[in-house]
Copies of this chain bind each other. A is one copy, B any other.
Amino acid sequence: MDRREPTMRDVAALAKVSTKTVSRVINGLPGAGAEVADRVRAAARTLGYRPNLTASALRRSDRRSATIGVLFEDLSNPFDAALLRAVEDHARRSGVLVLAGSNEDDRVLQRELLVSLSARRVDGVVVMAAGGHQDALQHERERGTPMVLVDRPPTFGDTDCVTTTNRESSRDAVARLAALGHRDIAFLGDRRTLWTSQERYTGYLEGLARAGVALRTELVHTDLHGADLAETATAALLDLDRPPTALFTAQNLVTVGALRVLRARDLHRRVAVIGFDDFPLADLLEPAVTVVRQDVPGIGRKAAELILARVDGDTSPPVHAVVPAALVPRGSGEIAPS
């Protein structure tokens, strides 16, 4: 039942060698004869020996745990989940496992999780920074922990990050709506503390400006955290005397909330919608939803590459990688103003 795990000492005793020799065989280091090595392997097999990576990491000079931390906002969000999966895939190929946590965009929780990860001596962390001050992140970074930020850049220096073309893609999406003749294009955005929200809003402004469309501030709603708030905001927009003929929804849950209201009012075929972030089934809705799609696997891969390289000792200057997003026209963004 609760017998002790076999250790190197047990293997060594059975194979009648020293623990050091077992260590050599297990790690494939030279200095062990073929016959002895076979004996050691056989002994390890019969005992069901498994090396203890934590003890090993404690003693080794490089002190690697072959574990990285991933700290995202909400692992149940499809975007975060896909990103985690991408990071995990690449890490695994290097024998690195992933300790995952959700910070719920809460800085206190983020700090606690960071401490927990650090106590487990992860080799590095990939973080989707919670909004607001990033002092805990900065502090951790300054302690020397390899770190890569994803989705949002750091507010401090000397740290890699991977983001997408928030501003440019938003600008293009809005310009596209304007090119169809829309002059009343609403912006619905997530919390303003989020860098992505700010960027997408800036892109919206640029898109309007480029098309020579005047900004109507009453068509701008921000701080819509979650689909419910987005619904309220959309309803308010539609109740205006001069309601928008197109919506640019700058986050996936916001898009969903807006669609729900449009549908409830039977306006989903008349009001154009382009959403930032793709979501499953966007293609099955009527009309199918035009979105700006981020290259999530690409972002995850880049983030994994960066963190693994840093853990491996890469000390080149910090990188801000930008993985391009693409507009996916499906119908809702191609509705002309009535």
Binding site for B on A (CB under 8 A): 1-3, 5, 48, 50-55, 57-58, 65, 67, 74-78, 80-82, 84-86, 88-89, 92, 95, 97-102, 113, 115-121, 143-144, 256, 259-260, 263, 279-286
Contacts and interface: CB of A to CB of B under 8 A. Distances in A.
A144 B3 contact: yes
Contact of A117 (B97, B102, B143): B97
Contacts of A58: 52, 54-55, 58
A85 B92 contact: no
Contacts of A102: 85, 88-89
A115 B97 CA distance: 11
Given A55-B58, A76-B86, A280-B280, 6 more contacts: A50-B118, A75-B88, A92-B113, A97-B113, A97-B117, A285-B285
Contacts of A286: 285-286
Given A102-B85, A117-B97, A285-B285, A65 B76 contact: no
Contacts of A54: 54, 57-58, 65, 120-121
**Tally of this chain's copies:** 2
Interface of A is mostly: mixed
A121 B4 CA distance: 13
Contact of A75 (B3, B5, B57, B85): B85
A78 B280 contact: yes
Contact of A116 (B95, B99, B256): B95
A100 B53 CA distance: 17
B284 A143 contact: no
Contact of A78 (B1, B67, B78, B99): B78
Q: Residue among A77, A84, A119, A279 with the most chain B CB within 10 A?
A: A119
A76 B81 contact: yes
Nearest to A296: B76
Contacts of A2: 144
Contacts of A113: 92, 97
Given A89-B102, A92-B101, A99-B99, A51 B144 contact: no
